[in-house]
Each structure stands twice: as C-alpha cells, then as structure tokens.
Structure 1
C-alpha cells in the first residue's frame, strides 16, 4: 500500500502546520511565540510537538476549523489564533498551496480572494471543503484562462509546470493505457476531479489512525509506503510524520532503519525511516523539492521510489533499470495552452 501526500490526519495537521509554516519562513517569530503561549499543558520551554492545538477548535463536516467558544478571554484568543495560523492563513496565501516553491500563477490576489471570485461563478461549490474549494479555483484557472498560467516552470529540476491536466487526461484516455490499467470499455473517460463527489462529500474521519490500527490488528502481512513531497502545504510531510510516529510509538513498532537520506544518482532525493513489527512494515519517506504531486514535480526520483517499493527493496536509492534522462514533453501531452517559442524543452 502506497499513500502519497494523503490527508491522513486533520488533527496532526492542526498541531503541525504552524510549525511547518514558521520553519519555512512564512510566519514570523512573534506569531509563532504567541501561538506557543497557547500550548495546552506546555510552556515556552517545550517544543510545539507537545501542543494539542486541536483542543481549541472543532472540525466540521467539510473539514473546516471552527473556533470553540470559551468564557475565558485568553482561551478564546487562543482558539481564534489556532484557526488563523493552522487554517485561514495557510489557505489565504499568494503562494502556490500545493507546492510552496513552484510559482505557477500570475495571481495578484491572495488565494481566498482568487477563490472567492471563482466561486461566484460556481454556486455549486458553496459549502465545500477548503481543499476542494481552493483546488477548484486553481484548476479553473488552468483550464479556463491561459493568461493566468506562468508558461515556464520555476522549478530548477524540470518539474512539470502546474498540474499538466490536459496532458494527464490525454495520456490516461489512450486505449493501450486503459487496457494496461484494466479499465473496462464501459467505464467513462478519466477526469481530474469529480464535482459530483466534491459537492456532496461529507468528511466522516478527521484522523486515520484507527484505519492503520485495524490493518495492524488484522495480522495481514503488508508493506506500506507513506511518502510526501516536502514542499506541500495542503497535506504536509509533518502531518504524515507526526501521525505515523504517534502510531508507531503507541504500538511499540521497532525501527530497523533510522531516519536517513535516500539517493537519486549522486544527489539526496529525500529522507526515509522504517517502522516494523511481525506483520507490517511502514516506510515513511520524503521527496525533496516535490509538492503535492510528487510524480510531476520529481519524475525521476518518484519513478525510482515506487519501483523499489514494488520490488520490495529497502534501499530506495537503488537505480532503476530504465533511462531517466530528462526529455521534452511530447507535443500531445503539453496541454492546450502550449505555444512553441514560449515553452522551452528545458522546462518541460
């Protein structure tokens, strides 16, 4: 089982996002210090990993954070601060939410402002989760207005610009690809998102620890890979790491491989740590420089990672038996807005 940048725990997301944003230079020290003073049961001398900020908020059916009501003004201030730093400011940003270091759009407004303008034209989005709302707003910018696209990727390692939705759609619609994936002919064409699902989805779980516990208790022999691009703020590496570390600690899982780098060629591609008991193995892995969509941000390292996982290799640095030399995208996968002369093969 492999999970990439999954929303595995809203609870750990609340606890870790302020740290993630602070240590990436998004939040200032005064904001971080003020929030730290709200640490339940903690003090200014402890790390925020012991701060259960979720005490101050509730998670509604759409996955949004709502401040609890307190009679104590200090607690109420903390509740409002947690919502602001673990939710609102994470999404109300001019940065690209799904890849902190990829500048995909020439937006003049913060994300919520941009999203709000898009939502006015799409009433069906009302009441949707923060993830779907902002994702829909950015996706509508991709498919609906070429002027909103930065034509070149700002990634120094040749990651695909933005989402490459048109390219993915064309690729997955090919008959030989559908056949290889065992997709029956009667199944509809692949689409990037489903408005029907998105508009009607109700979040039932805000943490998947119980799911992992059921897997462990089942006794099945299972290998798991939990990987995260380390530049994703939507489903951050801290969210996954804190959830898995907590799960491993509760179940007293052994650590046969301590956290260390894995290599792609001569370069560090990320970091990995292994947890294990008699029937399961969990590899917790990061992909350096990747955002929410690891395969498009770091194609070579992603291919090597998943190949080694499928083969059962514990060393993710094993080179793959294919040529991973970067190549320009084929014309049919460059998207409808591709214009020769504007796009450079070096960036595709």
Structure 2
C-alpha cells in the first residue's frame, strides 16, 4: 500500500516538474502586472528527438485551470507564431525601444489558454539538433511535425491539459497547416493514438486554403477596388474569359509559378492584363500594403530615428497622469462639460497621428524590428528557456525565415480533400470558423468564401452518390446554408462584419458547423487590425455550446470595457477603459 502511494506521489511530482520547468519566472522589460502564468519550452517533433519545436503558452486571465486551450499557428510558410503573440493576439506588445513590453488588453487569453507553436522546424527558436540553421520543409513534413509536437505537449510538456477542451487556430498559410493537422488529429482520436479526445473545432483566419481560388477571387476583388481601368476590365472580360462567366473563370491559366504559392502573369496579352490585378505589391510599384489595402506607413523616417526612451517608469508615470485627466473628462462629459483633448496637450495638433492611420501609432509599421530586437537579446532568451545548443548554431530569431520560404514548394494547392475527410470521419460534434479581414489581398475573403461553398457542395454531392435520398433524410441532412447577416461589436453598437453559417450532419451522426465570417476593415492580421471585435469573435467561438449556432454579437463572454492592469513600477491601478489609456501610453512611447 505504501509503495503504491509512493508511486502515485512520485508520478505527481514528475508531472508537475515537467510542466513547471518551462515556467517563465521573470520576463525582461515587462511594464505591467500579470494575473496569469506564461511558459516557454520545447517538445519533440520527431521520433528521434532531433527536431525541437519551441512553444510558448500564455494561460487564461480568467480561469486557467478550466478554460479551453487554443493552439495558434502563424503561416508564411516560415513565419514564427511568436509574431502572432507579440504583434497580434498575445498579451505582450513590444515598445519602440525593443526592450520593454506594454499591455495588449485585447489579447486572446481573455478566457482561453493560448499555445503558440513555432512551426515548422527551423522557424523562430525551433531547431534541428543535428543540422544548424535547418530550413527544409514541405506540407506533409510540417503536418507530421505539428501532430507529434502537439501530442508531446499533452503527454509530456503540459500534461495538465491532456483532458482539456481544445481548438486549433491560425492565419495565412496555416490555412494549409490546420486542415491537415485537424485531419490527422481526428484520425488519431478515432484510432486511439492521440492523447486528447476533447477536440471541438478549428478557426482559420485569412486562410491560404485554395491557391487558384484566391488568385481568381483577387482578380475580381482588385477590379472592383479601382486597380484597373474600365477599358482594360472590359477587354479582359471580352477577350480573356473565352465566353465564360468572369466570376467563375480560372485566370491561373494566364500565370506562371515556381513554388506553387506565388503566381505572376505570363507573357501572353491576357497575362499582362491580369498581372496588375493579382500583384500583391512585390515590386512596391503601387505602394500599398498587401496585408491591408488601406494601411499606410506615412513617414518612414521615424523608423530611422533614435528610439524614444521607454524605461518604463517615466513613460508609464506620465501616461497615468494623462489617463487620470482623461477619466475626469469622461465624468465631465456626463455633466455636459466634456473638455475633449485639451487636457492631453496644449497643442491638440501634437496628438494627430502623423505616421499611420491606425490607433496604435504605427505599431504595424515598426513592430517586426522591435520584436526582433527584443527576442534576440540574451536576457530574453534566457528567460524563455532557450538552450545554449540553439545559440551555438549561430541562430537568430526572425519573424519569418526567408530560407524556409524560398525553398518551400507547396504540395496541396487546395485543401478540399482534408476538409472532406474530416467531415466524413468525425464522430463527435465539431465546428469550423473561417474568418477574414475584408481588405486583405494576400488571402482575400471572396476566395475563402468560394472555397467553403465548394467544401459544402462537395460533401452534399458525396452524400448523394453513396446512399439513396430517402435513407439520407432518415439519417442525416445535407449541408444547409443560412442567410448572410451582420454581426456587431459591443452590444450591437458597431458593425463588425458579416457571418454565414453552414450546418450539416455526417453518417456518424456528428453535427458539423462552418461559420464563414468577415471582419470589417481588417486586413491579414485581424487580431491587430480589429482587436476588440477579434477577441469577442474568438471567445464566442470557443465558449459556444456544442451543436449550437454561435451568436458572435454576444458580449456576455467578453467585456469590451477593459481595465488596464496595474503597473509594475508604480503599483497604481488603472480604472479607465483601454481606448484612451493606450492612446496616451503610445503617445509617450513614440514622442
């Protein structure tokens, strides 16, 4: 009996030590107090243990012991998921100095534990122990790495999550990673080889799920966003579509590619007409940002200026003084005495954002450099438990590894087969969220919408070919599409985008929901461009009851009136809403 109890005790200690050894004890430059734990460590991504995949985990601000797990992948291929953490949906944003971290109150760990996997091997801090600066990758290899890494996360790195409800999520080229990994996990759950059976959904943002579909849709998107003259567009419709409907024509026949990812117009007359419409600004000839058609970085000279001081104490203290005055103005507003911005500066013109048209003072324009500076400091790498072995390979952390992208040849130019197999094999209820910022040209909303329509159509046709119509009606339904309706941010106050839902049931009796959603005014990086709507969207997705239509307007799962955390340097508590506070904090950081 004693020996049995001792064994249980030793097992408990072992599990605890394996999970807690990756705890981040002191994150350099952190300017605010956190009420959640963060972890950084490695999981094996091959059987021999030579492929080490780095992960970071930011636990929930709400109830980390019970809240679901959301796994996040950035795309590329070759881009680090830490870019997603520090530049989009994570709780930490890096100041202009590359040394300090300010708070992102709209982080996705509001009511979820968020796991970031740096995939594939060779990206970020992930590495091959036998080959320095490893860069070989392809779709199937990446899928296998992701499956084994996630398996080992549940089994070894953080076994406390082994029975937790979890979801996959990611953006861009993760539109290939996620359907492939979802397919493998469903197979593993069915045959008993995957350790966590509580897999309930996958969310794909601005997904690269169908290459030709995106290319053809971009042609249409560009034509109706003023990128072509009416004369040239009429010529294309008359001479290039061969009498077919322009909305369904395959323009890829006038293109060429070397990696099956990037396409350019060929030397034909139609190829030359199509090229300006499918261009994503590779040659900077038009001067727009491919990730957000309406995003500008006006004054690039600011990026070459000396970094403004952001030591924390002076900047944050000044910020709080301004914030306090703003709070008073908010109170005066209720009495009809609102003072506007007069209290923030003697010259209100100094508050005008002269560098960008976003509300983060050009963070989108310079964050890659700041994040790279931060993650390449020795103190930060030590805090993140990055091993000396990685450093000895003369590695550096980069947002995206060009050597991986430049040597990557896409295997699957459409993900239909993976969606179809998932839908067929599911034995429990499951939901997909396919969301798009509607002004992204890299992976546009129209191409993804057409792809999901094709997925729904494929499965209806497959069902019809297998069994008779009468038997079908008695056992399960076709995919049915609902109306396209608006959804709103913050209690119906502001239009956030549009959503359409496909619902169906497979032969195993599993109910399947696919939500097709747009985020108004967002580009490729939805969590950054529309921070509030994005966290409301994802929180409703992971907290919706199974087999129920999701109300993305619902604000009961997420309170948009966010309170800033206490500051480490002052201990003062901020009690005002995020909008004004971050405005003042970043004003001080930039100027």
TM surpasses 0.5: yes
Residues 39-78 of structure 1 show CA distances to partners (whole Å, capped at 9, x for unaligned) of: 54535xx4x2221222333443252325568xxxxxx422
Gaps of at least 5 residues in structure 2 are 1-201, 307-352, 391-395, 461-477, 563-577
Q: Separation in 2 of the partners of 1:158 and 1:255? A: 44
The CA distance in 2 between the partners of 1:238 and 1:163, in whole Å, is: 29
Choose the corresponding residue for 1:272, options 499, 502, 506.
Answer: 499
Out of 238, 263, 273, which is 2:488 matched to?
A: 263
Q: Distance in 2 between matches of 1:146 and 1:263?
A: 40
User: SS of the residue aligned with 1:164?
Assistant: helix
Number of aligned residues = 286
The separation in 1 between residues aligned to 2:375 and 2:496, in whole angstroms, is 27
Equivalence for 1:77: 269
The 5 A counterparts of 1:4-153 are 4-38=205-239, 40=241, 42=243, 46=245, 48-65=246-263, 76-87=268-279, 92-106=285-299, 145=304, 152-153=355-356
Shift in alpha-carbon separation, 1:341–1:61, aligned structure 2, 3 A: closer
What does residue range 242-257 of structure 1 map to in structure 2 within 5 Å? Answer: 242-252=450-460, 253-257=478-482
Q: Whole-Å Cα distance in 2 between the matches of residues 100 and 79 of structure 1?
A: 23
CA contact (8 A) 1:272 1:284 kept: yes
CA distance in 2, matches of 1:20, 1:38: 19
CA distance in 1, matches of 2:436, 2:362: 16
Would you say the 8 A contact 1:42–1:50 is kept in 2? no
Residues 59 and 212 of structure 1: CA distance in aligned 2, closer, same or farther (over 3 Å): farther
CA distance, structure 1, for counterparts of residue 361 and residue 480 of structure 2: 34
CA contact (8 A) 1:294 1:302 kept: yes
Aligned partners of 2:436 and 2:444 also within 8 Å? yes
Cα RMSD, aligned residues only: 3.7
CA distance in 1, matches of 2:424, 2:532: 35
In the TM superposition, 1:167-316 aligns within 5 A as: 186=387, 191-220=398-427, 221-252=429-460, 253-265=478-490, 266-278=493-505, 279=510, 280-312=512-544, 314-316=550-552
Is the CA contact (8 Å cut-off) linking 1:90 and 1:233 kept in structure 2? no
CA distance in 2, matches of 1:157, 1:342: 10
Q: Is the 8 A contact 2:504 2:513 kept in 1?
A: yes
Q: Given the superposition, is the C-alpha separation of residues 341 and 227 from structure 1 closer, same or farther in structure 2, using an over 3 Å criterion?
A: closer
Residue aligned with 2:288, SS: coil
TM-score by length of 2: 0.43
Match of 1:328 in 2: 582
CA deviation profile, 1:227-257 (whole Å, cap 9, x unmatched)? 1111111111112111111222232353353
Structure number, greater radius of gyration = 2
**Larger deviation, residues 260-269 vs 192-201:** 192-201
**2:341 matched residue in structure 1:** none
- 1:27 and 1:222 mapped to 2: Cα distance? 42
**Residues 195, 216 of structure 1: alpha-carbon distance in 2 compared, 3 angstrom cutoff:** same
Gaps of 5+ in 1: 70-75, 108-140, 344-348
Q: CA deviation at 1:303?
A: 0.6
Q: 1:89 to 1:297 in 2, by over 3 A?
A: closer
Contact 2:498/2:517, CA 8 A, preserved across alignment: yes
Q: Which has the higher contact order (CA 8 A, sep 6+)?
A: 1
Give the superposition deviation at 1:165. 2.9
Change in CA separation of 1:191 and 1:35 when aligned onto 2, cut-off 3 Å = same
SS in 1 for 2:253: helix
Secondary structure class of the residue paired with 2:516: strand
Query: Separation in 2 of the partners of 1:191 and 1:62?
Result: 24
Q: CA deviation at 1:105?
A: 4.6
